[in-house]
Chain A
Amino acid sequence: MSLEDLTSTAPSWMSGEDDADGIVISCRARLARNLAKHPFAPRITESDQQKVIAEVLAAAKDSRRMTTASYFSMNALDANERRVLVERHLISPSLADDKGERGILFNQDESLSVMINEEDHLRLQAIYPGTQAQQTWAAIAALDEEITGAIDCAHDEDLGFLTACPTNTGTGLRASILVHLPALVLKEDMERVLQGLNQLSFTVRGVYGEGSNTSGNLFQVSNQATLGSSEEKIVEGLLRITTQLVEYEKDAQQSLLREARSQVEDKVWRAYGLLSHARVLSSQEFMNLLSAVRLGLTIGLLKVPAVFINHLMIATQPAHMQAEAGGALDPDERDLRRAQLVRQKLTEVADGQ
């Protein structure tokens, strides 16, 4: 598998399966692990990093789940290629931008991946579509059994898995969902929801992980604590909060439709119109319009498939477009190209109906 092939395919988590009518886009589980005999990131040397990579790849080689996996060393990729991987949720911005020997191992449909030498020696990740939290957990638990079982892992009887940052100690599990909550935002109910989630020990972040702002009414909700609960309990907790959020959003949508149906329909169709015909689209405007289209899909106004919307969201990201264009694009060129790509794809989907 080469990186070029990557940009023309959609990862399996984008399929739109089990997405609660477009509200829950995907579910992710991440496990942080370290090798016992090598220092953590703040003290690790390049020579140690190479040893870590060798040991992890050796353990992964025998893993049944990683047979179709490819390894990419970050230093062997250029900046745009690394950015493509960030846009696909395969690596974090840290892994892309840090120095040192580090890389990513991921399988063909991008459902399973292992970051090597990011904040911890290993970061296992599973991403599945929609509300499939149990499947996500099952996949990553199996991967964990195979890989972590084959290395000398830093683990303590009392404290669990030892991680560089104490915020990950214990299970090392961060389970999250990516949700679309346009009605809650429109009804200005998000602060109440955010406060409620915080009280239940869930954190809420923007689309691309730590530190980013929310965009297109997309929120990533994840567990806060990693120590003191079993992994299954954490996943169950996430499932419960997912059901609740879906309920709140659907209620908010129904309420909006009762109060202002024509305005909502107008907003959806205007967004569809703009996306179909605009000549210039900034990424911020695009995300806002796409959110309205997603809402249109959820309330049954539009028949655009969820997988199409999801793939469009990634295909219009800067690094993806630059990869397709075969070179760097300045912001104006990107905005032009984005509009062009969206018009083209929407025509294809419309024709197909």
Chain B
Amino acid sequence: MSDRDIAIIGYAETKSSVQSGRGVYDIAGEVVAGALASAGVDIQEIDGFATCLSQTEATNPFWSPTLADYLGLELDWCQGVDLGGASYLGALARATQAIRAGDCRTAVVMGADAVTTTNRSRMSAYRPEWQWPVGLMGPPGTFGLLTNRYKTEYGLDDNALAKLAVVQREHAILNDNACDKLRKPLTAADYLASRVISDPIRLLDCVMPCDGGSAIIVTSTERAKELGIERMIHPVGYGERTNYRVRDPLVDILDGGHSIAGKKALANAAMSPADIRMFHPYDDFLIAVLLQMEHIGFCGRGESSRFILETDISYRGKFPINTSGGQISAGQPGLAGGGVNVVEAVRQLFGEGGPRQVKNPVNAMTTGIGCIPYIRNWSVSNVMILAAP
């Protein structure tokens, strides 16, 4: 993958908002039109399409072709990706593979959701039988289990979580697309005093759902050059693991699939963790950022609190984290949430970060986390490394 044969040539993102009253097709139209304009390509150029599912349209079993019809796309490759929060990055990876295989030439990768206006998703599988009767409070409950186990095994410095919360909030204040509801200064004391939902998970450990979306245009580097496009970045490494150690009933829930996905992405790119300029990890919970840092190898197991406290993780720093504010402070637009992290990585590498631009943006790592299984941590882990030309 490190031969830079695939190019990302444009992107667009809506402003996130709570109960926008918008339809999901409206959001999709905004981001696709925006991404085409950003890349400078015509709609006729697009012959590939990958989209995250949408909680708003969760009951529609014909989602991706219907959405593509609304957008006026005639396609040789069309795919809906149902990897939960790993869907956005998974869709981008699948599009690069489809282009490389010759299934399509130029693809739109997108996510749009209006979950706080209309939510038609309904959880099932193990939950009605094995989870709902004991009152586990959804994802905060699962991350509560995880965090208490972490505290027992390694100890956890709440000041590290507070620092992450505060820095991501500072980034969101510099991001016009972040949810206005969240664009207010936050102190470490505010974080530490926030209400506990499912011990020890606080309200400010969790994402807030919102409406929004984003899109990316991806093609072969060769095609981008034919089109006369000069502004491009390249995916140079990718790894994905679903159901890490599912056949181990006594799995260490503090370990995870990012240990596999991260290693693979780094090997693809011929890089080590120290080579990564900035990190845009999927952040449904603050503790998930710490765990991914350990799994990918930015620090050892149990060392992420110290790493966070000793490192400048702001956009000015040595190791910037989630310079858009991440989902924690920009909002989580439903199943399109992964786009908040991925699109910021693209934006920074294009040098379009505005007041929060990272200096010397040579590369970025971004990740996804998808679905919550029965008392493990998460089902899908993916990691991508993007690089400037």
Binding partners A and B: no
